[in-house]
Structures are given as structure tokens and as C-alpha cells.
Chains A and B, each alone.
Chain A
Amino acid sequence: MIRQDAFAHPVTVGIVAATAAVLAAAAAVIGAMALGGRGSPELRRELWLRLGSWCLLLPLMMGPVLLGREWVVGAVTLLGLACLREFDRATGLFREPLVAGLVVLGILAANFAALDHWYGFFVALWPLTVGVIVVGTIPRDRPQGYVQRTALGIFAYMLFGAGLAHLSYMANEPGYRPILLMLLTTVALSDVAAFTFGKLIGGPKLLPATSPNKSVSGALGALAVTTLLVAALSSAIFAGTPMARPHWLILLGILVGIGAQAGDLMLSSIKRDIGIKDMGTILPGHGGVLDRFNSLLLVAPASFHFIGYFVGFGLDQPVRLITGG
């Protein structure tokens, strides 16, 4: 497996530097607000909390990407398990330990397939794991609640196992770093842009029953910002490949922009249905891990298959590194 230096690509350098600069600028702005007495103490405290969470999260997100392929797979596995835990506890799936256990095994298997660089197994795990979840609880002879627990198990596996593991598989491409960093940062920026445009422009609500705070202006602003940013970064990342055509790059941007917001709205729908505000409490100012990474859930498989269609991931790299064959 070919390994490149962490900062071999200029886009990697640019994204890491820009992220550090944005954090420093945000700290300076909040500090200036505190010195000038602007904004309520509660608002400033909330902003500090959010900034503090970002200062913890960004190194945790970017660090594995910079460190190497195995680190990415490890981090995505932990992320999937953390998301599953919150989902379990929010939906009540944790009361079905057998189904939850099968989903855990599915998450581990999907990421193992990515680590092994075995695409056949990676793809086969979708129907195989669903089959195991569907059949797994039948021997207990307890048909009450079968549809609900099985459906929730499949839903969880598709999102946190099969879906997120696409990020792991991307790391089999030697030049994966700028791609992953682009996805991680633009998806995070999409949330910030939606919040900012919504506050600045206002206007009608997007889906008031699903997510009362999201406006149409915020959604469109976020889509525009994400599309342009992804297209710009992709033009540098995919230069010289069949994908380096403006319409494909813009389409990738739209895909990421819509996927990010759709993931957010999907989680909002789950939360409204259950009647909870946040999925967890582990990240001050954000809620749970799933509240922070919901935008990535749909973006990961969508962008993987879009990029894979043009350039592929790790096509010229050795396969089945662990299992052999």
C-alpha cells in the first residue's frame, strides 16, 4: 500500500491552516465581545462552549486523517459505535441487546472490510448483515415487536455501519487526505452557514414541524456555500482526472450540500418522533456525537460512489491485505 506524506497535497495544508485560522479568529471575536461587553453572558458562555467543543473535535476529526489509513478506519469505527450508542438509547433499541449486538458486529465487519481493502466483502455486508439482523431474533420465539426492533437495527446498521464505513474505505486511496478533509470540513461548514444565513436573512421556515429553527434562506445559503467550496477544492484535488469538469465538480458540491442538510433533517425527524431535543450530552453546546455528525451520514456513501464512478478508490493498490487471496 502506497503511503503519502501527511501534507503532500496543498489542499491538505490549506484546509488544516484555514481551520486553525478560523478557530483563532473565532476565539478572538468572542474574546473581543467579552472585553467590549457585547452580547449577553449566556450567549458568550454558549459561544465559548461551542468553540471549546470544536477545539476538541477538530483535532479528533483531522488527526486520524493526517496520521494514516489505519487511524481513519479506527476513528470511523469508534464514531459508528458512538453514534449507535446514542441512537440505541434514544430509540429504545438498547432494550434489545441481541439486535444491538448484531449491529455492533456489522459495524465492526464493515470497517474490517475497509481495512482489509476487500471491496467484494464490503459490498456484500449490506445484504448479509441485514439478513443476519432479520433472522437473528427469530429463534427467541418472541414475535411481539419484531418489525420495530428489526427495522431499527437495519436502520442503525445502514447509517452507522455501511454508511459511515465508506469514509474508512476512502482511506485506501493513497491521496485520500484532501478528499476526507474536504468532506469533513465542508459538511461542518454547511451547518454553520445554514445557521448564519438563517440569522442574517431570516424568512419562512423550511420544515417547521421537523426542525423549527431552520429557514429556507439558511438552507439555500448553506447549499450555495457548500457547493461552491466543494467545487473549488475538488478542482484542485481531482485535477487531471475525468472528474475535473466544472459540471461534475458542481454536481459533487450539490450532492454534498444536499446530503449534509438531508442528514441533519433526518436526525431532526427522528428526534421529533421520539420527543427529545438532543441525542446526547457528551459535547457541550452541541448535544451528542450524532447531533454533530448527522450531516456526514448520507454524504459519506453519496460522495464515495460519485467520486468512485469517475476515479475510484485505491484501484491500483493491493487488496485483501489481512485475509490474503
Chain B
Amino acid sequence: MEFRLRPARDHGLPAEERLRSLSRERGLGGLLLGSAWRMALRGYLAAFHRLEVTGREHLPPPPFVLIANHCSHLDALTLSAVLRGEAARRAHALAAGDTFFGSALSSAFAAYAINALPVWRKRTRSGELATLRERLVEDRLVYILFPEGTRARDGAMAPFQPGIGVLVAGTQVPVVPCFLEGCHAAWPPQRRWRRTAATPWPGRWPAPARSRPRRGWRRSLARACATAPRAWAAPPSAVWRRRRKA
């Protein structure tokens, strides 16, 4: 990437405001903290959840949007921990602002440990999505996103929200679906910890708006993105039958 004499996007923001800013960029200290956090997290996930990852080799170079089914707070931690190299350094989890950025302390944790960017449910403005999209392309970022919008309380995958379409509209950024298994059982306080596995799916979906947007394209894209994780969520025999039919 060519060097540009350009200040940080969040330059001039007061410290607390910077933590909650969608323009936040990490420096050397943030990178080191993030790396240390990911290492610790990987160790924890491997030791206590016997985390297994398959298909990591299918991940494209940044930028891309990594989406997955969402049923636990472990989901974002797991996905951010399994990324490697440049993708890991450029990864931002898009996290619920009201949950993770409510106080200065939680904001600092979300910003420095998981490098999260806040998305404010039901009050996200189009300008904020445009900022996210601009950064995704220009800064070659990786977004970790859960298109269901919230954790599925019963563990079953809910329909994807159409916001994912707005995020990649007009770009060539691939959307990489991934299926997480075991997180729902692992997180609830009443249940015992158990195995968690993250399985990136090799398919990619190009941006929908390269051609002229049609009515309902956002929902179409959301449905397309949901196909792979839903297929993985089904029993293996069902997936196999579907593939043979195809």
C-alpha cells in the first residue's frame, strides 16, 4: 500500500470520544495489545473449549466482511482470535454500542482488546454506514459482523438483516460466511463450557450493487449470505444430499 502523509482518521478527538469513534485507527500500542489479547484468547479457547478451525485457507486477503451465525458473546471473540496475520491486524468486530460501549471502561476493553467498532441498534445513521463502507475499502479492513442483528436466544439461526447489503454496496469487497458451532452451549452461565468450532466457508459473495440495484436487493443479498451458515447448521446428511442434488 502506498504511503500517504495523512493524519489518523480520529486525530483530534478526545480520548473517550475516540474509543467510540467509527474512525478509530490503532497505533503500535494498540496493535501490540490486540496481539497479546488474541494470543491469550487463542490459548484459552484451545485449552478450555478445544477450538477447531477448518477452512481458514479460504479466507481472502483484506478487505473482506466475515459474517457468521450469532448466539453467544463468544462468537466475536472466537472469530477475532482465529484470524491471522494482516487480516487479524485489520479486523474490527462490529459490536452493539449499547452493550460494549456503554461506559469508558467497557469502551476501552472493546476498543483495545477486540478492536470493536460500535453499531448503535435502531439509531444507526446512513452516514455511519457510509463511513464504515469507506474505511472498509480505503483502509482494507476486515469486518466481523453478525447479520442476525442480535444473539439467537434459542441457538437457532434467525433471518439475516439487510444491513449487510448496505455495508458492501457498490464495492468489490467479498462477504465470507462462516459457521460457529458450540458457542451457544458454551456461554450461558447455567451450562458447562464445551467444545467450540469455527468453520469458515469457502464461498464468497460479490457485492450486489455492481449491477444496477433492483428492488429488494438488500434482502436478496442477506438471504444469499445466510445460505452457507444455514447449510452448515443442518445435519451433515442434509448438506450432502443438497450437494448431490446440485
Query: Inter-chain contact count A-B, CB under 8 Å?
Result: 62
Tell me the nearest residue of chain A to B8, going by C-beta.
A89
Q: Which chain B residues (1-58) contact chain A, with CB distance < 8 Å?
A: 1-8, 11-15, 25-29, 31
Which residue in B5, B14, B89 is a CB contact (below 8 Å) of A92? B5
Q: A145-B1, A281-B12 in contact; A91/B31 too (CB < 8 A)?
A: no
Interface locus among A14-22, A184-192, A270-278 = A270-278
Interface locus among A93-101, A122-130, A161-169 = A93-101
Tally of A interface residues using CB under 8 Å: 26
A276 with B6: CB separation less than 8 A: no
Which residue in B3, B6, B15, B28 is a CB contact (below 8 Å) of A100? B28
Distance (whole angstroms) from the CB of B149 to the closest CB of chain A: 32
Distance (whole angstroms) from the CB of A62 to the closest CB of chain B: 26
Distance (whole angstroms) from the CB of A316 to the closest CB of chain B: 40
A85 with B27: CB separation less than 8 A: yes
In the complex, which residues of chain A have a beta carbon less than 8 angstroms from the beta carbon of B3? 92, 95-96, 144-145, 148-149
Chain B interface residue number, banded: 20 to 34
Interface centre among A91, A96, A149 (most CB of B within 10 A): A91
Q: How far is the CA of A275 from the CA of B5 in the complex (A)?
A: 10
Interface centre among A92, A100, A144, A278 (most CB of B within 10 A): A92
Q: A85-B27, A88-B27, A88-B28 in contact; A273/B5 too (CB < 8 A)?
A: yes
A145 with B25: CB separation less than 8 A: no
Q: How far is the CA of A116 from the CA of B25 in the complex (A)?
A: 36
In the complex, whether A229 has a CB less than 8 A from a CB of chain B is no
Q: A90-B11, A276-B11, A278-B12 in contact; A104/B28 too (CB < 8 A)?
A: yes
In the complex, which residues of chain B have a beta carbon less than 8 angstroms from the beta carbon of A142? 1
In the complex, which residues of chain A have a beta carbon less than 8 angstroms from the beta carbon of B13? 281
Distance (whole angstroms) from the CB of A8 to the closest CB of chain B: 39
In the complex, which residues of chain A have a beta carbon less than 8 angstroms from the beta carbon of B15? 281-282
Which residue in B2, B7, B12, B28 is a CB contact (below 8 Å) of A91? B7
A276 with B29: CB separation less than 8 A: no
A144 with B2: CB separation less than 8 A: yes
Distance (whole angstroms) from the CB of B92 to the closest CB of chain A: 15
In the complex, which residues of chain A have a beta carbon less than 8 angstroms from the beta carbon of B7? 89-92, 274-276
Q: How far is the CA of A142 from the CA of B3 in the complex (A)?
A: 11
Distance (whole angstroms) from the CB of B7 to the closest CB of chain A: 5
B1 with A97: CB separation less than 8 A: no
Q: How far is the CA of A89 from the CA of B27 in the complex (A)?
A: 7
Q: What is the interface of chain B, defined by CB distance below 8 A to chain A?
A: 1-8, 11-15, 25-29, 31, 89
Chosen A-B contacts, 15 in total, with CB atoms closer than 8 Å, are A88-B28, A90-B11, A92-B7, A94-B28, A95-B3, A95-B25, A97-B89, A101-B28, A104-B28, A142-B1, A144-B1, A145-B3, A145-B4, A274-B7, A281-B14
